[in-house]
């Protein structure tokens, strides 16, 4: 057997992390850099992307910020055209409107679908084409436990997260012959800006903590291992799959009564 001691290393490779300004995206960008990748930290908020890039360069990593709004189709296509195909793509942005399906407005539905599905679709379309041309690449999307289990108020969000898994399975099927892999990561409850309203409610926070087998929320840095695995040669024969990093949430049944 060949020496496998360096199969997680990313030296000499480039990564584009979209959503790198905060939360899981920021943790993923820093983690990929610590394993040797040169990272482009992209985010709709340039100040957040810049702050992440500065943290990476402070510990000796290679990083550059980029303002990229997935709601801007032209900007997404331009970003893909303006730089060489990255070896790794990580996309994390998502939004949620917690509301019963029967009460949803068209504007609220558009808000969730436009970012979580259409924005991610366009990004993968543009970057996937470049990766296929280069004959290599690992595409990593972020789904959620809500792709498998739901609760009142999660209709649109859950639908887009289930769609994300099927989008990446299809990318794997279409781009695999060109040397491109595509996989998703499905977190449980993670302490990020997206979940801040839930974290601020002690009853909700405790209910969510009790639902996981580990009886706590995840930190963003606890998703880094899965990202590095899927980005590296350690997962060279892994494509079209989903890794659940959810503290056992989807493994065990539980009961609680959330309010909208």
Distance of CA 234 to CAs 8, 24, 78, 191, Å?
A: 6, 21, 31, 27
Mean pLDDT of the 159-172 span: 98
Tell me whether residue 2 is in a domain: no
Model pTM score = 0.94
* Residue 7, C-beta contacts closer than 8 angstroms, at least 6 positions apart: 232, 233, 234
Tell me whether residue 6 is in a domain: no
Tell me whether residue 59 is in a domain: yes
Domain containing 136: what range? 14-245
Tell me whether residue 23 is in a domain: yes
Mean pLDDT of the 108-116 span: 98
Least confident of 62-71, 143-152, 160-169, 201-210: 201-210
What is the structure's pLDDT at 5?
Answer: 86
What is the structure's pLDDT at 3?
Answer: 81
Tell me whether residue 149 is in a domain: yes
* Residue 202, C-beta contacts closer than 8 angstroms, at least 6 positions apart: none
What is the structure's pLDDT at 46?
Answer: 98
Tokens in use for 149?
Answer: 């289990």
Tell me whether residue 5 is in a domain: no
For tokens 């087998």, name the residue. Answer: 213
- As a whole number, the mean pLDDT across the chain is 95
Helix (H, G, I), strand (E, B) or coil at 226: helix
Question: Tell me: the pLDDT tens digits for 37-51?
Answer: 999 999 999 999 999
Tokens in use for 61?
Answer: 């990593």
Residues with catalytic function: 157
Question: Tell me: the pLDDT tens digits for 231-246?
Answer: 999 999 999 999 999 9
Distance of CA 101 to CAs 23, 29, 39, 152, 259, Å?
A: 27, 35, 39, 9, 14
Question: Tell me: the pLDDT tens digits for 179-234?
Answer: 999 999 999 999 988 788 888 888 889 988 988 999 999 999 999 999 999 999 99
Number of structural domains, the chain?
1
Distance of alpha carbon 252 from alpha carbon 231, whole angstroms: 29
CATH number of domain containing 221: 3.40.50.720
Question: Tell me: the pLDDT tens digits for 81-97?
Answer: 988 999 999 999 999 99
């Amino acid at each position: 057997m060949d020496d496998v001691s360096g199969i997680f290393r990313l030296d000499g490779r480039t990564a584009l992390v979209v959503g790198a300004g905060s939360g899981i995206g920021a943790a993923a960008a820093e983690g990929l850099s610590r394993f040797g990748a040169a990272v482009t930290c992209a985010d709709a908020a340039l100040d957040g992307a810049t702050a992440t890039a500065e943290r990476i360069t402070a510990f000796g990593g290679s990083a550059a910020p980029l303002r990229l709004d997935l709601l801007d189709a032209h900007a997404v296509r331009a970003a893909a055209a303006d730089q060489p195909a990255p070896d790794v793509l990580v996309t994390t942005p998502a939004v949620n409107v917690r509301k019963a399906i029967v009460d949803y407005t068209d504007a609220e539905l558009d808000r969730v679908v436009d970012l979580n599905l259409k924005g991610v679709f366009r990004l993968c379309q543009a970057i996937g084409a470049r990766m296929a041309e280069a004959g290599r690449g690992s595409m990593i999307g972020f789904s959620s436990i809500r792709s498998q289990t739901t609760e009142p108020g999660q209709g649109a969000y859950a639908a887009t997260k289930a769609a994300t898994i099927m989008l990446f399975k299809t990318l794997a099927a279409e781009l695999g012959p060109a040397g491109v892999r595509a996989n998703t990561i499905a977190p449980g409850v993670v302490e990020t800006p997206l979940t801040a309203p839930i974290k601020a409610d002690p009853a909700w926070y405790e209910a969510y903590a009790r639902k996981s087998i580990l009886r706590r929320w995840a930190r963003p840095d606890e998703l880094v291992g899965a990202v590095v695995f899927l980005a590296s040669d350690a997962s060279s024969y892994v494509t079209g799959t989903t890794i659940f990093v959810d503290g056992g949430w989807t493994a065990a049944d539980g009961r609680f009564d959330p309010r909208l």
